[in-house]
A and B are shown apart, each in its own frame.
Chain A
């Protein structure tokens, strides 16, 4: 059974700080990685995705891949209270996504 592991948190950071979220995956052959944000009572929304060929930056968000250690990270710069949510890491296996349990981020003002 392929697995995606995340620290459930909560991760607490002050407003304006950098939040660092990590996830590890078990399948060394995985090539597509996704970060979703889920507000309480809402469905997941895609933040960004990366492939095994490199990192990606989009505004305040940066996704990084460490293939050797099999982990993916999401950095959120200048964190805002509106970033407070659960962040789900997902890895593509075949045609579907396998999700981690999510990390809860709390940004205090």
Chain B
């Protein structure tokens, strides 16, 4: 199984600012994904991070708000732009090799 790390583990940010979350996988994975989990809710897929090309976003999520990079097979970043309190959530990176594993998450609070 892949081991996935994320930085930062948590952050408190001011409205209108941006935060970039990093995700590192310890082995090459075919796919990487970003999910959001709002308090008391399940996981919602934000986008699929594609290596060397633009991410594929799910309905309701746009590149201007959640730009994603994946420069190689083991690393990806998600930026939450122009944040508002509604963006307060846990953001989870996921990698898929033989199956799909999750990083520890980034707990974001926007004031």
Contact = CB atoms under 8 A, between A and B. Distances in A.
Contacts of B33: 96
Given A34-B100, A43-B92, A100 B42 contact: yes
B13 interface: no
Interface in A20-65: 34, 42-46, 49
A5 to B, nearest CB: 11
Contact of B45 (A49, A88, A96): A96
A17 interface: no
Interface residues of A, number: 17
B102 A43 contact: yes
B103 A43 contact: yes
A96 B42 contact: no
B6 to A, nearest CB: 9
16 contacts: A34-B99, A34-B100, A42-B104, A43-B102, A43-B103, A43-B105, A44-B92, A46-B99, A46-B100, A46-B101, A88-B42, A95-B31, A95-B96, A97-B45, A101-B41, A101-B42
Of listed A34, A88, A95, A100, residue having the most chain B CB within 10 A:
A95
Contact of B48 (A96, A99, A102): A96
Q: With a 10 A CB-CB cut-off, give which of B41, B43, B59, B94 has the most chain A CB atoms.
A: B43
A46 B96 CA distance: 12
A98 interface: yes
A47 to B, nearest CB: 11
B102 A45 contact: yes
A102 B101 CA distance: 17
A95 B48 contact: yes
Interface string B45-81: 1001000000000010000000000000000000000
A95 B96 CA distance: 9
Contacts of B48: 95-96
B99 A49 contact: yes
Contacts of B42: 88, 99-102
